[in-house]
Structure formats: C-alpha cells, structure tokens
Amino acid sequence: MRPPARIAPIIGLAYVLAIAAADRPQRGAASSTASHATASDATARIVASAQALLATLDDAGRARVQFPLEGPQKTRWSNLPSGIFQREGLRLGDLTPAQRSSVMSLLSAALSRDGYRKVTDIMRGDEVLRTTASAPGRGPGAGQGRGGGGGGPVTFGEAEYYLAFVGTPSVTEPWMLQFGGHHLAINLTLAGRQASMAPSLPAAQPASYTVEGRTVRPLGNENDKAFALINALDDTQRTQAVLGYRVSDLVLGPGQDGRTIQPEGIRASALSAAQQSMLLDLAREWAGITNDAFAEPRVEEIRTNLPQTYFAWSGPTTNGSAAYFRIQGPTLVIEYAPQRGIDHIHTIYRDPTNDYGAKFTRK
C-alpha cells in the first residue's frame, strides 16, 4: 500500500534520519579508531623519547629517574621551591646539554605545542624570579646553588626542575611522567592509548615578564578568557556565578588528593551556547596542555559533562584585578588563585575520577 501523499515527506524525513542514525555509530567508530591510533602513536613517540633520554644516562642517572609505579613518588609533588620541598628524580641543573635537550624533546613529545610553551614560559619565569628577586626569608641572591631539600637552602630557577618516571616507560603498560619544580607540577599518566594529566599544577610568578622585548604571560590566556567569560554573563547569571566571599588560595591544591568539595557558582546548563563554548575554551587551557591526541578526547569528555559543570568567581570582574575562579564538573576541577595580587598565580587541574590515571591503573 502506498502512503498518503501528505505523510510521504514525513516518512522520507524519517528514512533520512534513520540512515543518518545508523551511519553515526559507524562514523563514530571510525573516528574513535583513528583517535585510538593517534593516541597510540603519541604514546609510542613519548616512550621512544623517554628511551632516548635513558640511553644518554649512566647507571646512576637511570636509577635516579626511575621509581616504582605504586610507590610514594606518584603523589610526591608540590608548587614549592627546593629547600622547602624535596623533589626526587633527574635535576635539570645536573644534566649535560645533550641530556637536557633530551628531556626537553621528551616534554615536547608529551605536551601539545601550547602546553610546551606554557611549561617553558613558567620555567623561564622562575629563572626571571631567581635572577631578579629574593627567596622567601632571604636576601638578594637567594635562589642560587643546589637545593638541599627540606631544611636546606631555598632554591629555584630553570636548573631546579626535576624529571621522574614512575613505572617503566611502556607503550602498553601504565607509567607516569613527572616533571616539576617551583610553580610547576606535571603528572602525566599513560597507559597505551589512554592518558591523564591530572593532577597538575601550572602556576606563575611573575605572571608577566619580558624576554628580548617580548612580553610573556605564562597564564595570560587563562586570565583573559576567564574575565571575558564573567563579563559575558548577564546580571542574573553573574549573581549566581559570583561567590559572596573571598577565596585567598587553592582549595584543592597539593596534598588534597581524593577530596571533592561541594560545587558552587552557576551551572553551565544556565549558560547560553556561546557562553558554554567560552567555558569549554577556558577549560581547554588546562586540558590542552597534554599532547593533542590525549587532549581532544579529554575536552570531549568535559564537553559531555558540561551541563553538570559549575563556574564560580570570587573578586572583581575587571580584567587586571586579582580574582579567583573555579570550574568544577563530574570529571574536572580547575582552580585559579592569585596570591596577594596579580603577579603570582597558583592553579590546579584535577579529575576527581581519574587523578593519577586511576581509571586505567586500578588493578
């Protein structure tokens, strides 16, 4: 029996939609397979870079960089300088130029282009701080020399960044690349095509400096995108987003693993599509530090959870002011906390469900 003429277009539309729906999983699967291949390739490149670095080290160096996967090193990281916090691993200042170059090649493989720039800008900023400022409680000239760990001289600068492998670099088995120093902690857990860069702590002091006439703001995008977002909210939305109290530091900074605070602020479901895009773009500043092959699925996960994600703000809303903000969703916590002014910023990036790659390292 032929359908009546007036419902024929509806049936035709349903047919087209059915074909599209049937096609979608196939295209999704194809895309997913491609993404798996890309992620696997990225892991292979990172592992190859790690092995190239290991080949430049003697036995003592290899022993210094390598830690067991389930030991205390996994959660041993901080934003503090050497002398207050004792890091383990390979210290950049102890390496030959070739070895140091291998470390930077490894970071280049593990991070996106923007992520690598951010990390090196933070390190260079710390060198600026070392050469122009005093260490805590010490006179000018502090920041020189070798960090001795807790109780030793306070030391920071580009030489005071440490690399560690927690677990053996592998293209299939879980392991972690740790890189950090004053105002930086990158904890990248890899397991085949899967990766998690949580928890990580990109920070900056000074927040702005010039190198050879070029102004560098390691966390400038984070700052500017956040101010753009808060100013894109209407009065009603802003009332929900702005917390009525001062937040003077990170709530879930170093040492706060496994804790989840009650979310506050405005829920992203109350934002327009354009505002949601701005929020996602802001979160990408952290999620996108890692290699693009791992960052893209992570951003998609954040996008999927956006309706359950909150944006909270404390402080003035005029760019150039010191303001704290937090993005918190089912798989995401980002905090941005200026420290007594705009020139010293702490941030934290966490995944309450996958810090240290818990999802894929759990036995």
Partner 1 sequence: MTLTIAIVGSAQPSAHRVDEYLQASRLAIDPRGVQIELDLTPGIALAEAIIAEIDRNRDGSPSADEQRAYASLVLHGLEVAVDGRPLPVQLGSIRFADNDAMRRGEGTIQVQASVTLPDLDIGAHQLRFRNNHHPHGSVYLANALVPESDAVGVTAQRRDPDQRELTIDYELRAVPAPSTVAWLLASFAAASMLSVFLIAAVHPVTALKTWRARRKPGLLR
Work out whether 133 is an interface residue with partner 1 (CB under 8 A): yes
Candidate residues 86, 134, 168, 353; the one interacting with partner 1 per rule CB under 8 A:
134
Residue 298 structure tokens = 């992570």
**Considering the complex, what minimum distance in angstroms separates the CB of residue 126 from partner 1?**
10
**Considering the complex, what minimum distance in angstroms separates the CB of residue 60 from partner 1?**
29
**Considering the complex, what minimum distance in angstroms separates the CB of residue 332 from partner 1?**
14
Work out whether 2 is an interface residue with partner 1 (CB under 8 A): no
Work out whether 341 is an interface residue with partner 1 (CB under 8 A): yes
**Considering the complex, what minimum distance in angstroms separates the CB of residue 361 from partner 1?**
22
Contact criterion met (CB below 8 Å) for 201 and 77: yes
Candidate residues 211, 231, 272, 316; the one interacting with partner 1 per rule CB under 8 A:
211
Candidate residues 101, 172, 248, 321; the one interacting with partner 1 per rule CB under 8 A:
248
Residue 185 structure tokens = 């902690």
- Pick the closer one to partner 1 by CB: 256 or 277: 256
Work out whether 123 is an interface residue with partner 1 (CB under 8 A): no
Contact criterion met (CB below 8 Å) for 304 and 256: no
Q: Tell me the number of residues near partner 1 by CB under 8 A.
A: 49
Candidate residues 60, 262, 362, 363; the one interacting with partner 1 per rule CB under 8 A:
262
Cβ count within 10 A of residue 192 = 16
- Rounded to whole angstroms, how far apart are CA atoms 60 and 74? 20
Candidate residues 2, 22, 98, 151; the one interacting with partner 1 per rule CB under 8 A:
151
Contact criterion met (CB below 8 Å) for 14 and 141: no
Q: Residue 176: which H helix or E strand, with range?
A: strand 175-181
Question: Quick one: 308 exposed, middle or buried, by C-beta within 10 A (0-12, 13-18, 19+)?
Answer: middle
Work out whether 344 is an interface residue with partner 1 (CB under 8 A): yes
Contact criterion met (CB below 8 Å) for 176 and 166: yes
Q: Is the dihedral of CA 304, 329, 79, 356 positive or negative?
A: negative
Work out whether 223 is an interface residue with partner 1 (CB under 8 A): no
Candidate residues 44, 69, 104, 342; the one interacting with partner 1 per rule CB under 8 A:
342
Q: Which residues contact 284 (CB under 8 A, 6 or more apart)?
A: 295, 299
Q: Assess whether the previous peptide bond of 199 is cis (omega < 30° from 0).
A: yes
Candidate residues 39, 154, 197, 295; the one interacting with partner 1 per rule CB under 8 A:
154
- Rounded to whole angstroms, how far apart are CA atoms 133 and 332? 35
Work out whether 245 is an interface residue with partner 1 (CB under 8 A): yes
Candidate residues 249, 269, 272, 318; the one interacting with partner 1 per rule CB under 8 A:
249
- Pick the closer one to partner 1 by CB: 205 or 361: 205
Work out whether 84 is an interface residue with partner 1 (CB under 8 A): yes
Work out whether 257 is an interface residue with partner 1 (CB under 8 A): no
29-50 in b/e burial notation, b at 16+ Cβ within 10 A? Answer: eeeeeebeebbbebbebbbebb
